[in-house]
Structure 1
Amino acid sequence: MSRARLLHILSILETETNISNGLTLQEICRILFERYPEEKCSEQRVREDISVLQALSDEKLVAFELKYESGPHNQRKYKLYRPTFGLNEARMIFDSISISRFLSQTQKNSLISQLEGFLSRSEVQQLKQRVRVRPCLMQNELLPQTLQVIYRAIDEQKCLYFDYSRFDIAGRQQIRKTYRHIRPIQVVWEQEHYYLVAINPEHDEDDQQRNYRIDRMRNVAFDSGDWKPVNRLEFSYGQFDMFSAKEKRIVTFRIHQDLLDMVFETFGTHIICHPDDERQEWIVFSAEVELSGGFDRWVLRQTNKIEVLAPPSVRNRIDQLLQNIIASYRK
């Protein structure tokens, strides 16, 4: 048995077959001899090599499965596939990479090209159609490396040092602050951004949780500092964005029925809605909300299809916000 020939046959089966399409012994030999003329040998030798691969597959010593099915005249068709990574799984991963708003197109193509190595040629062809996303004006090619440092720090229980940047008026990212001894807790994906939930020892002990936009972090490195075990369940983020508010209220809303899907997606299907007595096609419901800037922006996004009915303090909060906006346009 030639080790090189065995690897060549494995490569052919990986690229030319899958769970739906197989190759006969004669077809495998033809491709083998076309690609690797130096491996010219009898079909019997190739059959023996395939038997070795099948034995490895049957004994679960490899990550693939090599099977055959009998066709006309009892002719076997061999097919190699990975049962836990097929077309559907690949589609989900490819789409996840494609919709990333922080990877450049070059980075996306590189990642997808590497993953294509786990698929046959016919499967790769079926995955040529990609989900489309709007172009991202802000791509951060350093994001994968930054995430890797953060994940390592969490795994190895290390504190972090990093600079935090913001845009200036000319559209350039400028370092605004340097953070030291930051204890990373977990990475969260929220509203198209990665956030780091962390402990900042600069603040009072009962107010040390901070959330940092990872794409704004620069020069991330391990730092000194005490690492204390924490309960991740004690950490929270906001109802409407990453930044939570301590003040909560039960708020009654009147919404147009067009917003019903959005309401259940935001507050859950446990809330009770009923038709409004005063306006047709409108619905009234109550829910507990965090009174944060995220809540204000959420209400404004619904434009004229939402009204805060109660309590008066929250209604006045939105009224004052609208008055301030109106005043800006009447100057």
Structure 2
Amino acid sequence: MAKGKNQKFKLYRLAQIMLEKTDEDHFLTMAEIKEELARYEITAERKSLYNDLRDLEVLGIEVAGEPCGGGYRYHVVERPFEIPELKLLVDVIQSSKFITARKSNQLIAKLEKLASKYEASALQRQVFVAGRIKTMNETIYYNVDTIHGAIAKNRKIHFQYYQWNVKKEMELRHGGAYYHISPWGLSWDAENYYLVGYDSDAEQIKHYRVDKMLKITLSEEAREGKEFFQKLDMAAYAKKSFGMYGGKEEAVKLLVKNDLAGVIIDRFGKDVMMVPADEARFTVKVDVQVSGQFLGWIFALGDGVEILGPPSVRARMNQEILRLADRYKGEEMEENDRI
């Protein structure tokens, strides 16, 4: 049999064919494998293909054969990712607000290549999420990589930071001046990615939304603030902060209705100690950074949660209640005004 002109790519193409066209439910016979190789101008004898299929194991691709009629049919039996795992990754990418729609589609297309063409169609049905708000900052994908690189190299970073104005325009903060921050970690909170770093000028830990950071560059300066982060538990830090808004850290005691136990566990974890107060309520003490967002979280839970202490936090909640009452006091609105 005359050899095809692309014989040197034989094993590569065989791996590509088996990964793309076979899975647990789809198989290729030896004749079909030869036919697929011929599309790439590669010839193969049956005996050599047996050896080639065994050689694929060296590449981490396990192929099994099973009887079919008077012969055998073959398929890939194990892949780096199972379909449920790939679906989970697709859902995470699609629901991640910090990844742009375009980058989401690119990443999902790459994940599809880890499945057979038949399984990839199942991933495609997972892609559409109606009304999902995605970031418009394409550079975040690379910002994260740059930040990780700075952490690995123990270097500070420079960047500009922006906010949206009422004209829906990006507006640089601090007049466009660059921030000089020592990056120590990344945190995920409320669908956003945050850089957690040390501001040497302010001598404190600060955090910044990564999708609002522009023109990140590595500094020649070594990071500072090591003494702060050596004693900082990043997971605990994120748990104490509501919406990554800072505030004075306090041990706050709450009185909570029993039916909100799940809300407390979801927010603070199963390690919190919930002490029965009566048949319908329990108390719990949690470490939080007291901010407007924390108070708003308490407001949202209505009469299901009450702050018992410390007095300073109760006083702050009372001030917020009075401020809101003053804002909304007045004559009752007419029905048309409400609409």
- Which category describes the TM-score, using the shorter chain as reference length? 0.7 to 0.9
Query: Mean alpha-carbon deviation: is it higher for 229-238 or for 174-183?
Result: 229-238
Give, in whole Å, the separation in 1 of the partners of 2:33 and 2:97.
Answer: 42
From 238, 251, 254, the counterpart of 2:253: 251
From 120, 135, 140, the counterpart of 2:137: 140
Give, in whole Å, the separation in 2 of the partners of 1:29 and 1:212.
Answer: 56
Evaluate the alpha carbon distance shift between residue 49 and residue 3 of structure 1 in structure 2; reply closer, same or farther with a 3 A threshold.
farther
- The 5-angstrom pairing of residues 75-114 of structure 1 reads 75-114=71-110
Quick check: 1:14–1:80 contact (8 Å CA) kept in 2? yes
| TM-score, normalised via structure 1 length | 0.84
Quick check: 1:54–1:67 contact (8 Å CA) kept in 2? no
1:159: which partner in 2?
A: 156
2:226: which partner in 1?
A: 230
1:289: which partner in 2?
A: 287
1:262: which partner in 2?
A: 263
Which letter maps to 1:157? N
Quick check: 1:196–1:211 contact (8 Å CA) kept in 2? yes
Which letter maps to 2:26? N
1:10 lines up with 2:12 in the alignment: no
- Number of corresponding residues: 314
Which letter maps to 2:188? W
What does the per-residue CA deviation read over 1:116-151, in whole Å, with 9 as the maximum and x for residues that have no partner?
122111211222322636421643211112222212
Give, in whole Å, the separation in 1 of the partners of 2:36 and 2:296.
Answer: 61
1:210 lines up with 2:210 in the alignment: no
What does the per-residue CA deviation read over 1:223-254, in whole Å, with 9 as the maximum and x for residues that have no partner?
23233583644234351422454442341313
Secondary structure in structure 2 of the residue aligned to 1:84: coil
Give, in whole Å, the separation in 2 of the partners of 1:312 and 1:228.
Answer: 36
Evaluate the alpha carbon distance shift between residue 251 and residue 228 of structure 1 in structure 2; reply closer, same or farther with a 3 A threshold.
closer
Quick check: 2:196–2:208 contact (8 Å CA) kept in 1? yes
1:193 lines up with 2:192 in the alignment: yes
2:334: which partner in 1?
A: none
Query: Mean alpha-carbon deviation: is it higher for 195-204 or for 80-89?
Result: 80-89
Give, in whole Å, the separation in 1 of the partners of 2:126 and 2:56.
Answer: 35
From 14, 18, 23, the counterpart of 2:28: 23
Give, in whole Å, the separation in 1 of the partners of 2:289 and 2:88.
Answer: 36
2:336: which partner in 1?
A: none
Which letter maps to 2:261? L
Evaluate the alpha carbon distance shift between residue 266 and residue 126 of structure 1 in structure 2; reply closer, same or farther with a 3 A threshold.
same
Evaluate the alpha carbon distance shift between residue 321 and residue 180 of structure 1 in structure 2; reply closer, same or farther with a 3 A threshold.
closer
Evaluate the alpha carbon distance shift between residue 170 and residue 261 of structure 1 in structure 2; reply closer, same or farther with a 3 A threshold.
same
Quick check: 1:64–1:82 contact (8 Å CA) kept in 2? yes
Quick check: 2:27–2:73 contact (8 Å CA) kept in 1? yes
Evaluate the alpha carbon distance shift between residue 158 and residue 50 of structure 1 in structure 2; reply closer, same or farther with a 3 A threshold.
farther
1:130 lines up with 2:126 in the alignment: yes
Give, in whole Å, the separation in 2 of the partners of 1:123 and 1:176.
Answer: 47
What does the per-residue CA deviation read over 1:80-115, in whole Å, with 9 as the maximum and x for residues that have no partner?
255432212211211111112122322222111122
Quick check: 2:200–2:225 contact (8 Å CA) kept in 1? no
Evaluate the alpha carbon distance shift between residue 240 and residue 211 of structure 1 in structure 2; reply closer, same or farther with a 3 A threshold.
closer
Aligned-pair identity in percent equals 24
Quick check: 1:180–1:223 contact (8 Å CA) kept in 2? no
Secondary structure in structure 2 of the residue aligned to 1:162: strand
Secondary structure in structure 1 of the residue aligned to 2:285: strand
Return the offset for 1:312: 4.2
Quick check: 2:186–2:193 contact (8 Å CA) kept in 1? yes
Secondary structure in structure 1 of the residue aligned to 2:63: strand
Quick check: 1:240–1:298 contact (8 Å CA) kept in 2? no
Evaluate the alpha carbon distance shift between residue 254 and residue 11 of structure 1 in structure 2; reply closer, same or farther with a 3 A threshold.
closer
Root-mean-square deviation over aligned CA pairs: 2.6
Unaligned runs of at least 5 residues, structure 2 = 331-339
Secondary structure in structure 2 of the residue aligned to 1:151: helix
| TM-score, normalised via structure 2 length | 0.82
Evaluate the alpha carbon distance shift between residue 106 and residue 262 of structure 1 in structure 2; reply closer, same or farther with a 3 A threshold.
same
What does the per-residue CA deviation read over 1:258-284, in whole Å, with 9 as the maximum and x for residues that have no partner?
42211122233342243646xxxx423
Evaluate the alpha carbon distance shift between residue 94 and residue 144 of structure 1 in structure 2; reply closer, same or farther with a 3 A threshold.
same
1:298 lines up with 2:294 in the alignment: no
